[in-house]
Structure 1
Amino acid sequence: MTLAVPSSAVAVPSLRVLPLRPGALLLELVGLEETLSLYDAFQQSPVAGVLEIVPAARTLMIAYDPLSLDQAELLQAVAARLGKKRSVGVTETVDIPVHYDGEDIADVAELLGCSTSEVVRRHTEAEYTVAFTGFAPGFAYLSAPGAELAVPRRKSPRTVVPAGSVGLAGEFSGVYPKASPGGWQLIGRTPLAMFDLARDPATLLRPGLRVRFHDIARSSMHAVEKTAVVAKPRAGVPSDIGNGIEILSSGLPVLMQDLGRAHMAAQGVSLSGALDHGNFKLANRIVGNRPGTPALEIAPAGFSFKAIGRGVVAFTGAPAATSVTSANGDVASVDFNTPIALDDGDVVALQSPLSGTRSYLAMRGGFVVEPVLGSVATDTLAQIGAVALGAGTQLAVNSENVKKPVLPGEQPAFAMPKADEIVTLDIYLGPRTDWFTNEAVESFLSQSWRVTPQSSRVGIRLSGEPLERLDRNELPSEATLRGALQVPASGQPVLFLSDHPLTGGYPVIANVAAHHLDLAGQIPVGAHIRFNALNAFTHIDFVASDPQ
C-alpha cells in the first residue's frame, strides 16, 4: 500500500510502515538523520495514546494503546511530523576521557588507510550525538556524520569485552557499559561508568545528548569494571512486619518479579518482568494483592520454604505436587490456584512440575524488596533487579498493604503445555518477513519447531529446517518486542521472552500475538511449536507528492 504525503517547503522523506502486532508498528526511514528528526518531532509534539518510542539506526518502533489511538490516527500523526527539522536548542554535552590503547586500533588504522594517531584525531575532533540506545543498559550508539571512522565489525566477535571499552562499528562509536560479548573494533577505554544505578538517571548517555571524546594518558586511568547494582531483599524479617518466609531449598535460582520496567527504553532497558503475566496476576489476585505486587517466579525444579509468622500464600502457573508440613509433623497436600493459610513454622515443599516452565508464589501483602528503576523485576540479560534467591534467604511481607479479600476458586487462562506436545502460537507476520524467501516463509509456518535446551528467560531457541534469507544484507539494529521471532545467520529462530534485548541486528520474521505471550513463556524444553499466521504480510509506503 502506498500513501501520498503532500510535500511542503521541506522535502518529505519516504517511509515504510512495517507491522509488528496490534498496538505496535515499526517505521523505516531513509537513514539515521531522518529517523532522529521524526523521533524529535514526536518528543516535541507528543501524541496521546503513544506508550513508547524506541529509535534505532533507521527505524522507530512505536508502541501505542489501540483502545485510545487507532492505527489510522497514528499514521496521520506520523505524516504530520515527517520532514520536520530537528529542534535547535541547548543540548547537554558529555565529555568522555579515553586512553587510546584498544586492541584493534592498529587494525582500524589499516582499514581506514591512515595512522593510529589520525584515528585518535578523528575520534576526538568529532562531535557525536546519541542516536539511540540498546544491546545493553547504558549502551549508546553514537553518530558523527563526516567523522570518517566507518569500519566493519570484527569477523570473529570476542567472548568478553571489558567494561569501559570504546569501540567502532559501521557508522557508530560506542562504549561498553559492562563486560559482555561484542564484535566492535576496540580503540580505547574510559574510566567513566556508562550505567550506574546510584545515579539518576542511571544511563549517562541518552538519545539526543552530544558527546565529545578526549585523549588521556595511561596514568590517569583507573579501574572501569563496575559490578551491577541490584535491588537486595531485606535481610531477615523486620520486627514491625512480623511475617514472611525463609527459603530452605531451591533446585534452580528463584527470581523476584513484577510486571516489569515501563518507559525505560531511553536508558537501554527493556520491560522484563514475569514470563507469564496472567498467572502472576492470578497468584496476587487469589491472596488479595494488587496485580503487580512483587511475587516469586520459580523455575522448574524443587523448591521449599518455611513460614515465619502467619500468612496466606497461593501457587499458580506450572502445576506441581505441593505439601505443607506443620510444626508438629502433620503433612497435608495443597492445591494450586487456591489460597493456602500458613502458621509459623509450616514448611511448604514444591516438586518439579510435569508441565509448563514457571510457577508463581504470591504472599498476602507482597514481598518487601527495594525497587530498581521503578521495578523489582529481575532482568537476567541486563543483570538488573533483585539477586537470585536461594537457601537461607528471608523475605518479609507487608501485611498492611492488603485491602482486598482472598479469592478461592480462581482458574488459569490456559492449560500448561507438556514436553511431548505440539503448541500452536498465533503470530503476526512482519516486520522483516520479506527478507526471507517465499519457501522459507512457508516452511516457517508449516513445520513443527522443537524447543531446545538452550532456552532461558531471554528467549526460546528453536530447531528445525533452517530458514533461507532472500536479503543477505546486514540489518541495522532495530527495536524488538517480547514475542519477536528473530532469525540469526543459522536460520534457526529465537522466540524472545521477557528478558529480550531492547534492540537486535537480525531480521524478525514474525511476532507472537499478545494473547499467546503468556503461553509462549510456559513452553518447556522438548515441546514443539507451530505458528499460525493471523495476517498476510504487507507494508505501507509513505511517498512525498506535489501539493495540490
Structure 2
Amino acid sequence: MRALRANLDGLLVEVDDLDQALALLASLQEDPPAGVTELVPAARTVLLQFDPSRTTAQRLAAEVRARDLRGASRSSGASVDIEVVYDGEDLAEVADLCDLSVEEVVARHTAPEYTVAFTGFAPGFGYLSGGDPVLRVPRRATPRTVIPAGTVAVAGEFSGIYPRSSPGGWRLLGSTDAVLFDLDRDPPALFEPGGQVRFVAVREHITGSAAQTRAQATPEAAPTTAAPAVPALEVLDPGGQSLLQDLGRSGVAALGVSPSGAMDRGALRRANRLVGNPPGTTAIETVLGGLTLRARGDVVVATAGATAPVTVAGRSVEPETPVALDDGETLTLGPPAAGVYTYLAVRGGLDVAPVLGSTSRDVLAGLGPAPLAAGDVLAVGTASVDAVTREPGPDLPGPEGSVTLDVVLGPRTDWCTPESLDRLTGQDWLVTPRSNRVGLRLEGAEPLTRRITDELPSEATVAGALQVPPSGQPVLFTADHPLTGGYPVIGCVATYHLDLAAQVPPGSSVRFRVVEPFADLVAGQRGDTA
C-alpha cells in the first residue's frame, strides 16, 4: 500500500488490485476518518479528500495503513443489458491492434458478463471490468475533444459508455441509446458498483439522437421564470458564455459527479460580499465580457474577477463596487483588460432551483441550470443582507501576459522522466484557445516525456492536476474536470493558486514553480510513501 499526495488536500492510496481498492472503500465508508470530505474509488486506488484544518496527510496515511482489508467482498447490484450498434470510429483500428477481424472484436466484446467496478469520469460513467483480455488496447495518444453521448468504448482492462458528449481518449466501438444518468430515476445512475452488464449487438440504427440521449440523461434546471418577476434581471445578451455558479457540489462523488462551482471562487465570494450576500450565493459567471442585463425593479449588483469595464445606462461605473440599478436600466460588461471570468452578484441572490445540492452549471456533466440565453429572466431572491465588505482582488494576467503558479508534486511524478520535471518548471507554457472550464490545454516547446509507458489504471483526479497524455502537452484540470482519468499527473497546481490559474487568458503563458510546503511530505510528493 502506498499513500501519495494529490495537492494540499488530497491523499491517493494505492493498493494491489481492484478487490483491495473496493475493500478499502468499504472500510472507509463504514468508519470514515476524521476530516475526510470525499472518497473516490478507482481501479487500484482510493482518493481521500480532506479538510487540512482538521487532519493531515500523514495522519490519514497512518490510519489507512492500519485498516484490515481481509474478507471484504464486493457488493452485488442489478443486471443490465445494453443494446449496441457496433459502428464506432475505432472499431477497425481495435481489430488491427488485437490482430482480429471486426466480427471477432464484436463477438469477444459481447461474450462476457461485465462487473461495474466503480463510477467516475462523468455522471453515469461506469468502469466495466471482466472483459476479454485480448481486447485490452491503450488509450489514444491525444484525447478527442468531443465524443458523442451513448458511445461504447474500451481502454485498458475496462469498457464504458459515455453518458453525454464529452472529451475522452478511449477507443470507440459503437453506440447505444441507453440512458446512463437520469435525475428523475432513483438511483440516477443506470450502473451501480457491483452490478452486472451485458452488451448485446444489434443491427438496427440507434433510435434516439445523441442530443436526445443527453437531454434525457442530464435534465437542465431552467433559469427562467414562467411569469415576469420583480425584482429580476433580464438577459438581453449572454456574451460568449454566461453560467450560474456557486461554490459547487459536495458528497456526490459516488454518483460520478465532480464538485464543479465557480472557476474563480475568490472572485465569487468578493462579488457577493460587495452586495451583502453570504459568500457562496449563486451569481452569474461570464467569460470575456459581452453580458448585458436589464433590471426589472430596483436591484443592487456588483462585479468581481476579470477587470471588465461596466456601464449602466450608458455611464461608466467602477468594477468591484456596489451599483444600484433602477427599474429598466441596463448593465453591460465589456471585454476585460485582464483575466477571463467576471462574476456578477445581485443583492438577495438569484432564485434558482439547485441540482444535487448546487446551482452550479457543470459543462462536462451537463448538470445544473442551462447556460443563459437572451430572454431569460432571473428572479432575485429574498435572502437576508449581511454587512457590505470590500476587499481588493489579485492582479490578473492580461492577453499575452505571464503568471507563475505553485505546483505540489505527485501523485505520479515518478511516471515522468527527470528531464520532464526540468521542462515543467524551466519553460513557458502557452494557454491554448481550446481551454475551458474542464481544463487549460497547455503547449510547450519541449513536451513532457514519461519514464513509465504502461497504461495507468484509471484513478481519481483533483482540481489543479497537471495530467500528462502521451503527447506530452499537459492539461491543467479546472472546476469541471472529470472525476477520474487514466493519464499520469506529474503534479497539482496548489489549491491557493487555482483561482489565479482560472483567470489566465488564452494566448498568455504560465510558468510552474515546485513548492514543498511540508518538509516531511517531500517523499510523498515525489511518488513515494507519504
**Matching of residue 450 in structure 1 with residue 430 in structure 2:** yes
- Whole-angstrom CA distance in 2 between matches of 1:110 and 1:532: 43
**Structure 1 residue 446: Cα displacement:** 2.2
CA-to-aligned-CA distance 1:427-476 (integer Å, 9 cap, x gap): 10111112222222122112222222222112222222212222222222
> How far did 1:66 drift?
2.0
Shift of 1:69: 2.1
- Where do 1:311-330 residues align within 5 Å? 311-325=299-313
Q: Secondary structure at the residue paired with 1:76?
A: helix
Offset at residue 350 of structure 1 (A) = 1.8
Following superposition, the deviation at residue 129 of structure 1 comes to 2.5
Q: Deviations over 1:324-381 (max 9, x none)?
A: 21xxxxx543212221112101111221110111111001111122222221211122
Residue 181 of structure 2 aligns with an amino acid whose one-letter code is: F
Report how far residue 283 of structure 1 moved: 1.0
Q: Is the 8 A contact 2:414 2:527 kept in 1?
A: no
Of 372-381 and 103-112, the range deviating more from structure 2: 103-112
Q: Is the 8 A contact 1:457 1:497 kept in 2?
A: yes
Q: How far apart, CA to CA, are the structure 1 residues paired with 2:167 and 2:452?
A: 26
Paired position in structure 2 for 1:383: 366
Give the residue type in structure 1 aligned to 2:476: L
Contact 2:5 2:411 in 1 (8 A): yes
Aligned to 2:64: 78
**Equivalent residue runs for 1:484-523 within 5 Å:** 484-523=465-504
Structure-2 residue corresponding to 1:370: 353
> What is the CA-CA distance between 1:64 and the residue it aligns to?
0.9
SS in 1 for 2:408: strand
- Residue 5 of structure 1 corresponds to none
Q: Which amino acid aligns with 2:115?
A: T
Contact 2:305–2:393 (8 Å) recurs in 1? no
Shift of 1:392: 2.1
Rounded Cα–Cα distance in structure 2 between residues aligned with 1:378 and 1:461: 21
**Aligned residues between the structures:** 515
Deviation string, structure 1 residues 59-101 (Cα, Å, up to 9, x no partner)? 2211011222222321222112253332466x22232242564
SS for the counterpart of 1:227 is helix
CA shift, 1:115, in A, is 8.7
1:134 aligned onto 2:120: yes
Greater mean deviation of Cα atoms: 161-170 or 56-65: 161-170
Letter matched to residue 495 of structure 1: L
* Aligned match for 1:244, one of 232, 243, 248: 232
Matches within 5 A, 1:323-342: 323-325=311-313, 331-342=314-325
Give the distance between the partners of 1:260 and 1:176, measured in 2 at CA.
Answer: 23
Q: Check whether the contact 1:150–1:172 (CA below 8 A) recurs between aligned residues.
A: no
Determine whether 1:227 maps to 2:210: no
Question: CA shift at 1:493, angstroms?
Answer: 1.9
CA–CA separation in structure 2 for the residues paired with 1:392 and 1:76: 56
**Alignment partner, residue 332 of structure 2:** 349
1:60-459 equivalences under 5 Å are 60-87=46-73, 91-99=76-84, 101-103=86-88, 126-144=112-130, 148=133, 150-153=135-138, 162-180=148-166, 184=170, 189-206=175-192, 208-213=193-198, 215=200, 222-223=207-208, 225=210, 226-228=213-215, 229-235=219-225, 238-239=228-229, 242-325=230-313, 331-398=314-381, 400-401=382-383, 403-408=384-389, 410-459=390-439
Q: 1:405/1:173 Cα in 2 relative to 1: closer, same or farther (>3 Å)?
A: closer
Unaligned runs of 5+ in 2: 517-521
Q: Distance in 1 between matches of 2:85 and 2:224?
A: 43
Matched-pair contact (CA < 8 Å) for 1:38–1:84: no
Aligned partners of 2:116 and 2:197 also within 8 Å: no
- 1:16-27 maps to which residues of 2 (within 5 A)? 16-27=2-13
Residue in 1 that maps onto 2:44? 58
Match for residue 483 of structure 1 among 457, 461, 464: 464
**Percent of residue pairs bearing the same amino acid type:** 47
Structure number with greater Rg is 1
Structure 1 residues 306, 164: closer, same or farther in 2, change over 3 A?
Answer: closer
Aligned-pair distance for 1:422?
2.6
Does the CA contact (< 8 Å) of 1:324 and 1:348 recur in 2?
yes
Whole-angstrom distance in 1 between the partners of 2:222 and 2:371: 9
Report the secondary structure of 1:333's partner residue: strand
**DSSP-derived class of the 2:70 partner:** coil
